[in-house]
Chains A and B, each alone.
Chain A
Amino acid sequence: MTPLLEVRNLHKYYPVGRNSQLKAVDDVSLSIQPGEVLGLVGESGCGKTTFGRVVLSLQPATSGEVVFDSIDVLSLQSKDLRRLRRRMQIVFQDPYSSFNPRMTIGAALSFPMKVQGMHRGNEEERAVELLNRVGLDGSVLNRYPHEFSGGQLQRIGIARALTLDSDFIVADEPVSALDVSIQSQVLNLFKDLQEEFNLTYLFISHDLGVVEFISDRVAVLYMGRLAEIAPTEDLFGDPRHPYTQSLLAAVLHPDPTLEKSKPSMAIEGEISTPIDPPPGCRFYGRCPKRMDICRVQDPPMVPIGPRHSAACWLHA
């Protein structure tokens, strides 16, 4: 099957000062099948947010290719790019900053349709339809964003992402800013919508439990590089990359008997900023299983199982 999204050797570097570069995304390649949910996991500085933005062409790439449904996204002219935007949308982390405080949500929902010339004359109807679909009443059209709770506004954000009948949605930490009891509601909504409309998601999160729940496949990023990618059960059941293993070991489970009997397994060191990183594996400084070769040479992506690869010399 042709992937809906294919990313090849994507680089995004930011110049820092006069001579340095922040390598936010450093040679990442992956693909997403239609109807699939790919979870993108990593801690701060791993580049997951930047990746999401570059894939949608909201930020220019330094080099690489992004192919959406056989269309080369990064080389599109603005008119064609505008047209393509109908098919790919985004849900942001903080609902309060992702809505114009001076626009009613009715206007905010109609805006995409007006820009794209879709559902002409019917914008309000469609907005109400979408609001209902995400569990809100249509009567809130003339309310302003600040009048809603975080969970409600995030649902509206999801509704907005659906106004253009897109098939691909980038969800950038969509539940991280919400209360715990609301997160599960919104996650269920994401799942339901995905099944109902056969949506394809790039689901970015730092929360492993959330990612495991929603994703079919998971990619782990570390300092701008892909560390491991695998179907969900395989990544969580049989993680091969030492970083993935440390990440999973660091998760705190809501189970005191388990937690208090766990030996302390916190890995040492801290993440460094990916500014002018030295050659070799990015995880070298903190890896409990490092070898000499890891310090000098970047590990290749080594296949481990069906659709499961890890960038680690241990498995080469």
Chain B
Amino acid sequence: MTERAPKACDSSVVLRVRDLRTHFFTNEGVVKAVDGVDFEIRRGEILGIVGESGSGKSVTGLSLMRLIASPPGRIVSGQIEFGGRDLVEASTTEMQDIRGRRISMIFQDPLTSLNPVLRIGYQVGEVFRYHLGLSRSKALHRAVDMLRATEIPSPDRRAQSYPYELSGGMRQRAMIAMALACEPELLIADEPTTALDVTVQAQVLELMKTICRERQTALLLIAHDMGVVAHMCDRVAVMYAGKIVEYTDVYTLFARPAHPYTAGLLRSLPRLGANLRRLASLEGQPPRLTRLPAGCAFAPRCPRAQDRCREVAPDLTRLDNGHQFRCHFPLENDKEPQA
């Protein structure tokens, strides 16, 4: 593989992923959790990766951080271009330096992400101590500042609390504080509000959006909830069975989806005020990753599937306007493929 030097006009691109493949080698066979994924994310941009179980969205996030459990998983090929180097090739030490400092990640359940026996202030401060070499008292001071920035009330008192004393929303804010402490270029958030109540979710998402915009931190938001995606994202990649099946800006995705899966998913959502007698559901189940069909993985469920779909896996089609999709027979509009 020839190495490509980052071009000058790409300087706003923070992360570029090329043909990433992460496979799991299990007793039941090879699970191709991520199987050829390409995307990029710019400074200050919010990119959403949407999918259901088995789509590979979480594994993608973990692969970027090189947090894949090494037996049984492995990044088998691809490049993750970040800061002038390929993270797939980076050493453990280099990754430890990057994690928490240049790329941070927050997860769905803040309760299990925080150490239950250490106070919040100490944990948030850990990032400062480890990456910036600050003393304990300075680190605590900065930690309180971060807690304040994430709108935790009485941050100096809260810094002395233990995780179990905090509500879910506050814990998630503490996680955000920790993640953004060293002003990383990229924040990966894996279903950050899924376990939170609706009213708390709204607050936390708002916070993430504001704080990332302010600091021009790129945000990779992994989600399954289309409402969250509509609210937060600039661009969206839809994943199905380990591949990106559609990739475009958020308005186009919702208004003129090209891929039948995206369209089907959007149509099946119960929407407020829609007054439906029945929901237009997608048939079938997501595929078993150890037994993917030949051809397009979505074909068994696709109302538009033809013989070609069942035999040949579709390649990625890229339109001039940046809309990409993987489909032999995409939906109306926007569909004229390039030569």
Q: Return the contact of B269 from the options A180, A188, A191 (Cβ within 8 A).
A: A180
Among A89-104, those with CB < 8 Å from B are none
B254 touches A185 (CB 8 A): no
Given contacts A179-B52, A180-B265, A209-B271, 9 further A-B contacts (CB under 8 A): A43-B197, A180-B224, A184-B268, A188-B279, A213-B274, A233-B275, A256-B250, A266-B199, A271-B200
Q: Which residues of B contact A256 (CB under 8 A)?
A: 230-231, 233, 250-251, 254
Indicate whether B278 reaches chain A with its CB closer than 8 angstroms: yes
Indicate whether A44 reaches chain B with its CB closer than 8 angstroms: yes
Task: Tell me the smallest distance from the CB of A150 to a CB of chain B, in Å.
Answer: 8
Secondary structure at the A interface, as helix, strand, loop or mixed, is: helix
Indicate whether B266 reaches chain A with its CB closer than 8 angstroms: yes
A43 touches B230 (CB 8 A): no
* Partner-B contacts on A (CB < 8 A): 43-44, 149-152, 179-185, 187-188, 191, 206-210, 212-213, 233, 236, 246-260, 264-268, 270-271
B278 touches A191 (CB 8 A): yes
Known: A43-B199, A251-B198. A259 touches B286 (CB 8 A): no
Q: Sort A-B residue pairs by CB-CB distance and give the 7 closest, nearest first.
A: A252-B227, A184-B281, A43-B197, A254-B226, A184-B268, A209-B270, A184-B279
Q: Which residues of A contact B206 (CB under 8 A)?
A: 264, 266
B268 touches A180 (CB 8 A): yes
Q: Return the contact of B230 from the options A208, A254, A268 (Cβ within 8 A).
A: A254
Chain B residue nearest to A262 (CB atoms) is: B231
Q: Which residues of A contact B264 (CB under 8 A)?
A: 181
Chain B residue nearest to A213 (CB atoms) is: B270
Q: Which of B201, B205, B270, B281 has the largest count of A CB atoms less than 10 A from its CB? A: B270
Chain A residue nearest to B200 (CB atoms) is: A270
CA distance A213 to B255 in the complex (A): 22
Q: Which residues of A contact B315 (CB under 8 A)?
A: none
Q: Which of A151, A249, A256 has the largest count of B CB atoms less than 10 A from its CB? A: A256
A254 touches B266 (CB 8 A): yes
Q: Mark B36-71, 1 if CB is under 8 A from A, else 0.
A: 000000000000000011000000000000000000
Indicate whether B11 reaches chain A with its CB closer than 8 angstroms: no
CA distance A264 to B167 in the complex (A): 22
Known: A180-B226, A209-B270, A255-B230. A149 touches B278 (CB 8 A): no
A270 touches B169 (CB 8 A): yes
CA distance A292 to B266 in the complex (A): 45
Among B269-292, those with CB < 8 Å from A are 269-276, 278-283, 285-286
Provide a sorted-by-A list of 16 A–B residue pairs whose CB atoms are within 8 angstroms.
A150-B53, A151-B285, A183-B270, A184-B269, A184-B280, A185-B283, A188-B279, A209-B272, A210-B270, A233-B275, A247-B198, A255-B230, A256-B251, A266-B203, A267-B199, A271-B197
Q: Which residues of A contact B230 (CB under 8 A)?
A: 252-256, 258-260
A250 touches B286 (CB 8 A): no
Task: Tell me the smallest distance from the CB of A153 to a CB of chain B, in Å.
Answer: 11
A253 touches B271 (CB 8 A): yes
Chain B residue nearest to A255 (CB atoms) is: B230
B250 touches A185 (CB 8 A): no
Indicate whether B30 reaches chain A with its CB closer than 8 angstroms: no
Q: Return the contact of B279 from the options A207, A213, A270 (Cβ within 8 A).
A: A213
Indicate whether B98 reaches chain A with its CB closer than 8 angstroms: no
Indicate whether B228 reaches chain A with its CB closer than 8 angstroms: yes
B254 touches A179 (CB 8 A): no
Chain A residue nearest to B210 (CB atoms) is: A264
Chain A residue nearest to B53 (CB atoms) is: A179
Task: Tell me the smallest distance from the CB of B287 to a CB of chain A, in Å.
Answer: 10
A212 touches B272 (CB 8 A): yes
Indicate whether B294 reaches chain A with its CB closer than 8 angstroms: no
Indicate whether B170 reaches chain A with its CB closer than 8 angstroms: yes
Q: Which residues of B contact A267 (CB under 8 A)?
A: 199, 202-203
Chain B residue nearest to A148 (CB atoms) is: B285
Q: Which residues of A contact B229 (CB under 8 A)?
A: 254
Q: Return the contact of A212 from the options B205, B268, B270 (Cβ within 8 A).
A: B270
Q: Which residues of B contact A191 (CB under 8 A)?
A: 278
CA distance A253 to B270 in the complex (A): 10
Q: Mark B235-263, 1 if CB is under 8 A from A, else 0.
A: 00000000000000011001100000000
Q: Which residues of B contact A253 (CB under 8 A)?
A: 227, 230, 271-272
Known: A251-B227, A255-B254, A256-B230. A184 touches B270 (CB 8 A): yes
CA distance A264 to B205 in the complex (A): 11
CA distance A154 to B272 in the complex (A): 24
Q: Which residues of A contact B89 (CB under 8 A)?
A: none
Among B175-214, those with CB < 8 Å from A are 197-203, 205-206
Task: Tell me the smallest distance from the CB of B231 to a CB of chain A, in Å.
Answer: 4
Among B210-225, those with CB < 8 Å from A are 224-225
B227 touches A182 (CB 8 A): no
Q: Which residues of B contact A149 (CB under 8 A)?
A: 285-286
Chain B residue nearest to A248 (CB atoms) is: B272
Known: A191-B278, A254-B226, A266-B206. A209 touches B198 (CB 8 A): no
Chain A residue nearest to B231 (CB atoms) is: A259
Known: A184-B281, A250-B199, A266-B202. A213 touches B227 (CB 8 A): no
Q: Which residues of A contact B52 (CB under 8 A)?
A: 179-181
Chain B residue nearest to A212 (CB atoms) is: B272
Q: Which residues of B contact A236 (CB under 8 A)?
A: 272-273
A185 touches B281 (CB 8 A): yes
Task: Tell me the smallest distance from the CB of A235 to a CB of chain B, in Å.
Answer: 11
A260 touches B231 (CB 8 A): yes
Q: Which residues of A contact B227 (CB under 8 A)?
A: 251-254, 259
B273 touches A181 (CB 8 A): no
Q: Return the contact of A247 from the options B199, B225, B266 (Cβ within 8 A).
A: B199
B272 touches A152 (CB 8 A): no
Task: Tell me the smallest distance from the CB of B256 to a CB of chain A, in Å.
Answer: 12
B198 touches A250 (CB 8 A): yes
Q: Return the contact of A206 from the options B197, B231, B255 (Cβ within 8 A).
A: B197
Q: Which residues of A contact B198 (CB under 8 A)?
A: 43, 206, 208, 247, 250-251
